Amino acid sequence: MNNQNWNWNKKKSFKNEMSRLFFISVGVFLFILFFQPFPLDTLNYNNRLLYVTGFGGITFLLGFIVFVFLQLFFPKWFKISEWESGPPLFLNILLLTLSVTAYVFYVRYVGNSPISLYIIFKIFLVCLLPIIILIILYKNKSLELVITVLRDQNKLYLLKIKDFEKNGVEEKVDIFSENKTDKITLKLKNIVSIRSADNYIEVYYMNKNQVEKKLIRNTLKNINTQLSYKRGFLRCHRTSIVNIMYVENLIRNYSGYSLKMSCFDDEIPVSRQYLIPVKEAISVYE
Query: Are both 104 and 228 inside the same structural domain?
Result: no
Average pLDDT over the chain, rounded to an integer = 83
Q: Label residue 57 by pLDDT band (50, 70, 90).
A: very high
Q: Is 22 found in the same domain as 91? A: yes
The CATH code of the domain that includes 193 is 2.40.50.1020
Q: Say how many domains are in the chain.
A: 2
Rounded distance between C-alpha atoms, residue 61 and residue 65, angstroms? 6
Banded model confidence at residue 69, pLDDT cuts 50, 70, 90: confident
Give the per-residue pLDDT at 81.
Answer: 47
Residue that finishes a domain, picked among 117, 137, 164: 164
Task: Check whether 8 has a pLDDT greater than 50.
Answer: no
- pLDDT confidence tier of residue 6, bands split at 50, 70 and 90: very low
Structure pTM?
Answer: 0.50
Whole-number Cα distances in Å, 82 to 20, 86, 88, 206: 18, 7, 6, 59
Query: Which pLDDT score is estimated for 5?
Result: 47
pLDDT in tens, 10-27: 565 667 778 888 999 999
Q: Examine the domain organization and report whether 192 and 226 are in the same domain.
A: yes
Among 164, 193, 224, identify where a domain stops. 164
Rounded CA gap, 20 and 186, in Å? 63
In this structure, the answer to whether residues 131 and 187 fall within a common structural domain is no
* pLDDT single digits (tens) 178-218: 888 888 999 888 999 999 988 899 999 999 889 999 999 99
Least confident among 116-130, 150-164, 203-217, 263-277: 150-164
**Are 27 and 81 contained in the same domain?**
yes
Query: What average pLDDT score do residues 146-174 get?
Result: 70
Q: Which of 36-45, 198-207, 214-223 has the lowest mean pLDDT?
A: 36-45
Whether 144 and 187 share a structural domain: no
What is the structure's pLDDT at 12?
A: 59
Q: What is the pLDDT of residue 192?
A: 93
Q: Which residue among 112, 145, 164 closes a domain?
A: 164
34 and 160 within one domain:
yes
If asked whether residues 150 and 275 sit together in one domain, one would say no
Which residues are CB-neighbours of 135 under 8 A, at least 6 positions away? Answer: 86, 92
> Domain containing 271: what range?
172-285
